Structure formats: C-alpha cells, structure tokens
C-alpha cells in the first residue's frame, strides 16, 4: 500500500516539475543540485536538440554523442545561464545555438582526423519517409536559421520545433498572442527568403507545412533519462565542482525512476482514468484501515512501544486516505478534459480530411495544366503531334515543381491507337491521373487533360471510369464530325 501512495506522491511531484518554466528548473539545479529538475529540462528539450543535431550530422549514433555534449555543457554552465534568464524564461535559443556550435566543433575535429571522409559523413542520412520538399530544405535549414535575428529564431524554434501554440510563444517572448503570430509569420518569410539564396524556392505556406511535419524527430526511447544523468556527471568531472550526486546504485535507480515516471505520466492520461481500478484500491485501503482500527487487546506494560507504533501507522493511513481523495478528484477532472479533447478531435477530423482532399485535387489540376503546356511545346517541335508518354516531355518538365506530393508519375497519357495533333477537336482528352480518388464524401474523382489545355474532372457515382471515358470519346467524335461537316458546308467568302 505504501508503494502505491509513494507512486501517487511521485506523480504529484513530477506534475509540479512539468509546470515550472525552464529558468525555474535551471535555478533549482544550479542552487540545490536537483537532478530531478535537470532531468525535467532534458526530457522537455531532448527532441529539439536531437533533431537539430541529426539534421546536420545524419547519423543517429553520432547525434546521440553530440547531444550528450550539449546537455553536459548546459549542466556545467547552469549557474551562469540561470542568472541571465527571466523568471519564466526559456532556454530553447541557448540549446539551439549550443547544438550548432557542438556540431560545428565535432565536424571540424572529424575533418582533421579524416580529411577524405569528411564530406561523406556530412552527407550521411538515415532512411526517412520525409517528403521530397523536406529533402530539399533539410541540408540548408540550420544555416538559414542561424542567419535570422535572435528573437526571430527563438520564435521559429518555439512554434515549429517545439510545437508551441501562439499563446505559449507570446508568453516566452513577453508579447501578446497576436503579436506572437505576426512575429512567427515575419520570421517564416525571412527564413523562406534566406532559403531562396541557397537555391531552394518555396512558398511560406509550403515551408510552414514542411517544418510542422518534419522539423522535430523523436529521440530514441530512454535517451532523455540517459542524457540527464550522464550530463550531470560529465559537468562535475569537467569543472571539479563538488556536487551532491547519488551513489552508483542510487544513480541507476534515479534513471530508472525518471523513465518510469515519464512512462507513467502517459499511462495516467490514457489508461488510469478508469475509476474501477481506483475503487479496487480504495476497497483494499479500507480493509487495511479496518484491520488496523480494530481495538487492540489490553496491552501489557512491555507492549506500550508497539501500541504507539500501531497508532502512528493508523494516523498515517488516515492522512494518506485524504490525499488519495484529492488525487481522485484531480483524475476525474483530467478525465473530463480528455473526453472534451477527444470530442474536439473527432469534430475536426472531417474538416482536415476535406482540406487534404481539396489540396490534392488542386495540385492534380495544376499538374495536368503544366503537362498540357509542356505537351504543346513538344508538339511545336514535332509537326504538331502530341506526345504519347511522359518521357517525351521530360526535358520540358525538368524545372517544374508540381508541389503537394504530386509528380510526373501521378499521370499517364491515354492511348487512342492513333496519333493526336494539336489541330484535332479540343474535346478529346489525351492525359489523365493514373488512379481515381474517392473523396471524403464518398464521391469519386479523376482529372483529364483536354487537347485545348483545359482540365475536365469526372466523378461517376459508381466509380466506373471506363464507361465514362467511352461515352466521352463518343461525344468528342460526334462533335468532331459535326465540326467538320459545318466547315465543309460553310459558303466560301
């Protein structure tokens, strides 16, 4: 039972830690040597530092070594840095600058030792599922960020690299929510302009989407706990400062406890909302209290100490029972908040799905129009004959960026069994999307490129595009025949 109570007390303790600002935690560590405070800082910012380092070194194992050095440096400089921060200040800017410095220092050392292999190490990149746009942005991102001003860079880090809302960004920068939103927008545009100097052209909206999706990579499980302990020990070894450290056994226990607490925090939000388990625990507690509360037999003079001990345990159990009641109320409140969040997510899901489908639809239309322009350029060089496959116009499309995850492999040319010319009736289509798409409302959609360069969307209710295409071709042939007949019967001028 005391283990259960200890768990709840640890849970309250770690909740208080998570509510504190970076500056408060750093001061606790600098002044009191609190490993728990430093562990919370590491857990809070490991993903940010790990992602920044991984983008530049490209190796997960090497990234862990560099990140270890960054947090060791933070532990060593905690006292001086804590004195420079506001009461609610954040250290994301300092961590980002330190990670860039650590990576630069490490790469210079590697260059001196392995001159021939330096370039290869910088180009290492683990297999990733990032979009092609991220692969273009990633190599130049950190250099472009370094060119921003301190306040613009901190706004970008808080918004896109720590997924903070504008309210949190404004609080960290000491400005209002609206001002924070404008600051992030201006910083995003400056970053886009600096990327353009590196040959990477994109829009602010596309850059925002790419950063939101790919900027932060989740660090390996358990890395934060390992970094916290090792950084504290490393800082003590470098500076010679006498710190009150745990013994080897308690140090290992602290790391395990930190990892358990982090896992239990997630478990509490998702699973420990069930009142059934709490009721079972309360039943067991009542039984234990009932057993202790039974009137003891008349004590012998020699049993006075034992009686005092039992009374003390009884009083302790009553106190713990009250604390469990408070924790139960807290859990019920969190259960309501979780239900509200799930309801909101369920309401927003259809809106997000429709927005994604519309974005794909617009990208497909623009892609077919670009193919149409390239096809007419090709026909101008080939006796007005339209191309029959993408490979014939690859040169015309070499500098085209379709965007939205759409590429030339998303489309195909339609084979009529005979060549088409730009002089044919504009009603014939000669290119289309390879695969139809089912929209969130259940309807089907497929885009077709007509000879005149326009795009026609087809959406048969049953998804039978073969029948639709045959009917369209018949109509186009009939219109062609009518057009030719009208030209033949027209009186000469």
In a domain, residue 279? The reply is no
- Write down the pTM of the prediction: 0.33
Q: What pLDDT score was predicted for residue 492? A: 59
Q: What pLDDT score was predicted for residue 130? A: 39
| pLDDT, one tens digit for every residue, the chain (493 residues) | 445 445 545 555 556 667 789 999 999 999 988 899 999 999 999 999 999 999 988 888 889 989 999 999 999 999 999 888 888 889 999 999 999 999 998 888 777 766 654 443 344 344 344 344 788 888 889 999 999 999 999 999 999 888 888 888 999 999 998 899 999 999 999 999 999 998 898 898 888 888 888 877 777 767 776 777 677 666 666 555 433 333 333 444 444 444 444 444 434 444 444 555 556 666 776 676 666 545 555 544 546 778 888 988 888 898 898 889 889 888 888 898 898 888 888 888 888 888 888 888 888 998 888 999 999 999 989 999 999 898 888 888 877 777 777 888 889 998 888 888 887 778 789 899 989 988 888 889 999 999 988 999 998 888 899 999 988 988 888 888 887 788 777 665 5
Overall number of domains in the chain? 2
In a domain, residue 388? The reply is yes
Q: What pLDDT score was predicted for residue 96? A: 93
Q: What is the pLDDT of residues 425-469, one digit of tens each?
A: 787 898 999 899 888 888 899 999 999 889 999 988 888 999 999
DSSP state of 441: T
- Residue 245 and residue 380 in one domain: no
- Residue 69 and residue 173 in one domain: yes
Residue 167's domain comprises: 13-268
- Residue 181 and residue 66 in one domain: yes
**CB burial of residue 149 (10 Å; 0-12, 13-18, 19+):** exposed
Instruction: Give the domain-ending residue among 232, 247, 268.
Output: 268
Q: What pLDDT score was predicted for residue 291? A: 60
Q: What is the pLDDT of residues 263-322, one digit of tens each?
A: 444 344 444 445 555 566 667 766 766 665 455 555 445 467 788 889 888 888 988 988
- 8 A C-beta contact, residue 211 and residue 160: yes
Instruction: Give the domain-ending residue among 247, 268, 289.
Output: 268
Q: What pLDDT score was predicted for residue 411? A: 92
Q: What pLDDT score was predicted for residue 252? A: 40
Who's near 43: CB < 8 A, 6+ residues apart? 224, 225, 228, 258, 262
Q: What is the pLDDT of residues 17-40, one digit of tens each?
A: 677 899 999 999 999 888 999 999
Angle (CA) 312 298 313, round 5°: 10
Which residues is 457 bridged to in the sheet? 447
- Residue 251 and residue 387 in one domain: no
In a domain, residue 390? The reply is yes
- 8 A C-beta contact, residue 187 and residue 153: yes
In a domain, residue 64? The reply is yes
- Residue 175 and residue 49 in one domain: yes
- Residue 381 and residue 261 in one domain: no
| Whole-angstrom distance, CA of residue 156 vs CA of residue 146 | 11
In a domain, residue 306? The reply is no
445 by DSSP, 3-state: which? strand
| Whole-angstrom distance, CA of residue 361 vs CA of residue 459 | 12
Q: What pLDDT score was predicted for residue 476? A: 85
- Residue 59 and residue 165 in one domain: yes
- 8 A C-beta contact, residue 449 and residue 435: no
- Residue 23 and residue 132 in one domain: yes
Instruction: Give the domain-ending residue among 268, 291, 318.
Output: 268
- Residue 366 and residue 235 in one domain: no
Tokens 């208080």 sit at which residue? 16
Q: Which spans in 215-303 are helix H?
A: 223-239, 248-270, 275-293
- Residue 249 and residue 376 in one domain: no
In a domain, residue 315? The reply is no
Please, what is the end-to-end C-alpha distance for the chain in angstroms?
Answer: 106
- Residue 107 and residue 254 in one domain: yes
In a domain, residue 58? The reply is yes
In a domain, residue 318? The reply is no
What is the secondary structure of 12-52 as a DSSP string? Answer: HHHHHHHHS-HHHHHHHHHHH--HHHHHHHHHHHHHHHHHH
């Amino acid at each position: 039972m005391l283990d259960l109570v200890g768990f709840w007390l640890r849970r309250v303790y770690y909740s208080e830690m998570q509510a504190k600002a970076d500056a408060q935690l750093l001061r606790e560590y600098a002044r009191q040597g609190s490993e728990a405070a430093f562990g919370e800082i590491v857990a809070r910012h490991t993903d940010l530092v790990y992602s920044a380092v991984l983008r530049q070194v490209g190796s997960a194992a090497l990234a862990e070594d560099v990140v270890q050095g960054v947090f060791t440096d933070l532990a060593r400089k905690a006292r001086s840095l804590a004195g420079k921060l506001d009461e609610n200040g954040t250290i994301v800017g300092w961590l980002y600058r330190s990670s860039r410095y650590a990576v630069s220092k490490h790469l210079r050392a590697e260059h001196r030792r392995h001159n021939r292999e330096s370039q290869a190490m910088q180009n290492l990149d683990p297999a990733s599922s990032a979009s092609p746009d991220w692969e273009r942005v990633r190599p130049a991102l950190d250099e472009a960020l370094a060119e921003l001003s301190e306040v613009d860079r901190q706004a970008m880090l808080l918004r896109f690299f720590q997924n903070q809302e504008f309210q949190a960004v404004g609080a960290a920068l000491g400005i209002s929510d609206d001002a924070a939103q404008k600051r992030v927008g201006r910083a995003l545009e400056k970053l886009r302009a600096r990327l353009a100097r590196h040959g990477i052209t994109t829009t602010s909206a596309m850059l925002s989407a790419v950063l939101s999706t790919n900027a932060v990579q989740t660090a390996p499980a358990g890395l934060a706990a390992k970094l916290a302990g090792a950084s504290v020990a490393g800082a003590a070894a470098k500076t010679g400062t006498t710190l009150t450290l745990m013994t080897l056994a308690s140090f290992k226990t602290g790391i395990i406890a930190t990892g358990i607490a982090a896992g239990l925090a997630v478990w509490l939000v998702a699973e420990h909302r069930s009142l059934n388990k709490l009721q079972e625990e309360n039943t067991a507690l009542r039984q234990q209290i009932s057993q202790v509360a039974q009137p003891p037999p008349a004590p012998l003079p020699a049993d006075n100490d034992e009686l005092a001990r039992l009374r003390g345990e009884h009083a302790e159990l009553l106190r713990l029972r009250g604390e469990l009641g408070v924790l139960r109320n807290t859990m019920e409140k969190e259960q309501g908040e979780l239900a509200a969040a799930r309801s909101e997510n369920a309401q927003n899901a259809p809106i997000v799905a429709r927005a994604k489908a519309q974005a794909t639809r617009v990208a497909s239309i623009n892609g077919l129009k670009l193919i149409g322009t390239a096809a007419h350029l090709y026909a101008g060089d080939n006796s007005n004959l339209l191309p029959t496959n993408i490979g014939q116009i690859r040169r015309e499309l070499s500098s085209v960026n379709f965007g939205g995850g759409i590429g030339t492999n998303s489309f195909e040319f339609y084979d009529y069994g005979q060549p088409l010319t730009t002089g044919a009736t504009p009603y014939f289509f000669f290119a289309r999307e390879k695969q139809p798409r089912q929209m969130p409302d259940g309807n089907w959609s497929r885009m077709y490129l007509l000879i005149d360069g326009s795009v026609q969307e087809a959406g048969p209710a049953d998804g039978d595009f073969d029948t639709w295409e045959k009917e369209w071709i018949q109509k186009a042939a009939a219109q062609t025949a009518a057009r030719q007949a009208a030209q033949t019967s027209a009186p000469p001028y």
